[in-house]
Structure 1
Amino acid sequence: MINVGLSVIAYGFGDIRRGALLWLFEFMIAILFFPALKLYAAVGKHVEKYPRASQGFVILGISGLVFLEGALIGVPIWNLSQKHLALASSVTVTCEMFRLAMKIHAVAVACGPRCFGKGPPLPSFQHYVYFIFAPTLVYRDQYPRTKKTRWGVVLFHFIEVAAIIFYNSFLWERFILPYWSDYGKQSRVEAGTVVRGMFACVLPGVLSFLCGFYCVLQAWLNAFAEILRFGDRLFYEDWWTTSRFSRYYRAWNRVVYSWLRDHLYKPLAPRTGRAFSTFIVFFVSALAHEVVLALSFGFFYPVLMTEFGVLGVLMLPLTSTNGRRFPNVFNLFMWLSFFFGNGILWSLYPMEYFARKNCPPSESDSFFIPKSWSCPEIILKPNWTFQNPLDIVY
């Protein structure tokens, strides 16, 4: 039987109708924010004459924003927690949930003072919808625009997206699932088998990571930038040449980094200091990634949060100085960390997923407690031997 990834695609995008309905709800919340903002501004022009009332009106506006964003994030989380949605469909819904919430927040911060007659007028509905679909999370009244849409370029980028989805599914079906799909069917498994599977997932794991990076930040965003004639296309920088983790986090996803810098780091840094603000940025980003994975897989297993929010933060001071002194050495170190980090990710998450699927249910089963730690039992074979690769006869 030849596995080419089609079954993974069909399973991953299962129940696409429910996923589309959840996205439509999120989009309608984002659209509803605009008339609410216009109404708030219309009342705010009269309230600003009364200082005491204006303070309460500001609190009312913040409360309304929190309510809208809470509904935008809370309803999909509640829905997905009640009934599991297929992996790829769930990733799409949760990523869109955060994207639209970040868009609403950006517009609210930029246009909040304008509701009291300070600064330029509010944007038009057309410009607001343009921003909703534009490949940026930072609101501006004007964006650089190209002269025309090159539909051949758009088609090429969408073909890239389809090809990458197909190739990534092939990687999973051919190289990752064979190691872990039977995990939990036996009551015991040797530690050597687990370690061997982790090493086997290193290369397909990093290839999957690179495919995801190129699919989203190169092909998908450039396709929408071309459709909307969006001129600012610095979605990432050359992170693959860096020797410092701080540079990598700034360069590999400029879209999210710009939002975190403008709406989280800069407001916090003068009040809490740079170190604590940096920690908060990493924690919030890691938590958002973990929410996406938890709702998509159907369990909470903070492996990515540990790698990203703990080990990633610890690497900042280590590579800050040494990365400048020994750039080639630490660039190699970063790539090795990508390889082994992704190998661990694409091993532990499938192990937990199939342990929950294959192991018999028990009273101790929980959304937050990893089942793979107790089923199957991992045993250490006492007669391990290490063989010199040069002694192997082919």
Structure 2
Amino acid sequence: MTSVSATSTSTSTSVSIALSSDPTPAPQTRHSTFPSATPSAPPLQSPHEVTPRSNGDHKNQKKPGELPECGKYKHVFAVHSIPRTSTLSHDSVDAPSFIGFRNLMVLVLIVGNLRLVIENYVKYGVLVHISGAEFRRDDLKMFCLLYCLIPAHLFVGFLIELVAAYTARGDQAKNKKSDNRNPGLRSYWRIIALAHAVNATLSLGVATWVVYYKIHHPLIGTFCEFHAVIVWLKQLSYALTNRDLRDAFLEGAPTPRIYQSCPYPRNITLRNLCYFWWAPTLVYQPVYPRSPTFRWPFFLKRVGETIALSIAIWFLSAQYAVPVLQNSVAAMGKLDVAVILERLMKLSTISLIIWLAGFFALFQSGLNALAELLQFGDREFYTDWWNSCSVGTYWKTWNKPVNHFMRRHIYAPLLGRGWSNRSASIIVFTFSAILHELLVGVPTHNIIGVAFAGMIFQIPLIAITVPLERMRGQGSIIGNAIFWISFCLVGQPFAALIYYFTWQAKFGDSSRVFKL
């Protein structure tokens, strides 16, 4: 009687009772507000998921990582319930993290280098002795003489520009719009250009002759030649920039907005020249961006870094590089390829460390200290060259001051004269190759063309790696690997071996050169 009255009460109630008495209840979607119209199979369970109790109690659900409750039967829960892929497989859904392998590689690198340090100490002891550097007195005299005389050519260039500015100011006073209408004035500008060329040539030529014939110590010679090349490049930029500023002044042509605070010929002053002389750039501008204040802590930190890294470079050269070079001389003489390759690979590690320390000391510490002292604002002396996917990108990013000079005074003018990109690039690398040979061959008194050939060899390497740089993924990785291999294994260590061997053949033992 009770069941009949319950059935006749309402249709919905009877439907509810009928559904509740069904032994296979229809699953309900958790996030859906409407029940499924037809029964469906229960969803797949996770590896450790257990069917919840019928009373809907969520307190008994396990957290991730906990073993499921199987009641009395502990060995029956499903471990393999869904298809899964291996973590390192290509079809894996989630990319794994390799931070652990990175940490392992760092540890292996540290342990491997510590082993080399211990091996070096056991085999050679301490090779660096603070007993005074063995510099000849004549070398020191020539160094001081060149350091004072080389910048004098900058002031000769200033006098030349002072005469040119006086002439240009007088010509403008006569309302002459362009020197193209005055053949005599154009000839005068050619004389100015010739005077600059003679002055710059004497600056670099005399310094190179003195370093090659009068300075024996390669380290002192390197400093002198490096200084001479820097001042020579500054002379060229000063002359070429003021020539264009002079032409724009006579023709009334616009110049960059930043120059408006010091337009031509007001920039032809000793103060302006002296700032450019010391500024950490090879490109002349009448006005540079300036930093607002001078920061003593920043300046002292950069100076301290420069000094510390310079000492570290000296120590690494004397303690680690020199023994490897000395032990390679016999193999070089016998052309023992296997031993040469072993020496080359051993030298590549210390060479890379010395080069990276030198890069940081010069571009990050030294130039930033100088820029802070002069409140020079543009301090992008390099960018992330270590990520270069082509050799060409490396040469554009690792030494921005030289790159700016090459692009502004060689590459861009050649393009303006109708040269192709490839031809202009070849000219730029040829010019750079000559400078590299001067910087390496002249101080070591061995102009054998190795540094020149190394720079020329960059041209085909660029052609090979540029297409790889344009590719994504593996192409970029291969391009970066080619850059590092050519730079670390084939480049600097090989050149160091050859120049050291030729030095030994010409002058004998040079191990004392590196003593403190």
TM value normalised by structure 1: 0.84
Q: Write the distance in 2 (CA, Å) between the matches of 1:126 and 1:85.
A: 36
Q: Name the structure with the higher helix share.
A: 1
More off after superposition, 278-287 vs 116-125: 116-125
* Structure 1 gap segments, 5+ residues each: 360-394
Task: State the Cα distance separating 1:140 from its structure 2 match.
Answer: 1.8
8 A contact 1:84–1:295 mirrored in 2: no
Q: Structure 2: any 5+ residue segments left out of the alignment?
A: 1-124, 253-262, 510-516
User: Of the two structures, which has the highest relative contact order with CA contacts closer than 8 Å and spacing of 6 or more?
Assistant: 1
SS at match of 2:442: helix
Distance 2:484 2:304 in 1: 28
Cross-structure match for 1:80: 211
Q: Is the 8 A contact 1:13 1:89 kept in 2?
A: no
- Superposed counterparts of 1:57-136, under 5 Å: 57-115=188-246, 117-118=249-250, 120-122=263-265, 123=267, 124-136=269-281
Give the whole-Å Cα distance in 2 for the aligned partners of 1:190 and 1:285. Answer: 30
Output one character per residue of 1:187-221: Cα deviation in whole Å (capped at 9) or x when no partner.
96461433322222110111122122112111111
Which amino acid is the alignment partner of residue 23 of structure 1? Answer: Y
Displacement of 1:333 after TM fit? 2.5
SS of aligned partner of 2:461: helix
Task: For residue 135 of structure 1, give the secondary structure of its aligned residue in structure 2.
Answer: coil
- Select which of 452, 458, 469 maps to 1:323: 469
Letter in 2 for 1:248: Y
Change (3 A) 1:187 1:169: closer
Aligned-residue offset at 1:43:
2.9
Matched, 1:10 2:133: yes
Q: How many residues align?
A: 357
How far does residue 249 in structure 1 lie from its aligned partner after superposition? 0.8
**Conservation of the 8 A alpha-carbon contact between 2:238 and 2:284:** yes
Query: Which string of whole-angstrom CA distances, capped at 9 and with x for unpartnered residues, describes residues 211-232 of structure 1?
Result: 2211211111111000001110
Amino acid across the alignment from 2:159: P
Match of 1:355 in 2: 505
Distance in structure 2 (CA, Å) of the matches to 1:313 and 1:113: 31
Q: How far apart are 1:273 and its partner, in Å?
A: 1.6
- The 1:338–1:96 alpha-carbon spacing in structure 2 relative to 1, beyond 3 Å, is same
Q: CA deviation at 1:162?
A: 1.8
Of residues 174-183 and 200-209 in structure 1, the stretch that sits farther from structure 2 once superposed is 174-183
Query: CA 1:184–1:241 in 2, change beyond 3 Å: closer, same or farther?
Result: closer
Cα offsets for 1:262-307 (capped at 9, x unmatched): 0000111233221111001001011101111111101112222222
Distance 2:503 2:161 in 1: 43
Instruction: Measure how far apart 1:345 and its partner are.
Output: 2.1
State the superposition RMSD in angstroms: 2.5
Aligned position for 2:166: 42
Contact 2:446 2:499 in 1 (8 A): no
Secondary structure at 1:297 match in 2: coil
Cα offset for 1:13?
A: 9.4
Confirm whether residue 242 of structure 1 aligns to residue 388 of structure 2.
yes
| Structure label with greater radius of gyration | 2
Q: Secondary structure at the match of 1:71?
A: helix
Partner of 2:447: 300
CA contact (8 A) 2:211 2:225 kept: no
1:313 — aligned with what?
Answer: 459
Q: Distance in 2 between matches of 1:162 and 1:129?
A: 25
Tell me: CA distance 1:84–1:327, structure 2 relative to 1, closer, same or farther (3 Å): same
Counterpart in the other structure of 2:412: 266
Q: Name the aligned partner's letter for residue 285 of structure 1.
A: S
Alignment of 1:173-188 (within 5 A): 173-181=318-326
TM-score using structure 2 length: 0.65
1:21 equivalent in structure 2: 145
Counterpart of 2:492 (choices 326, 334, 342) is 342
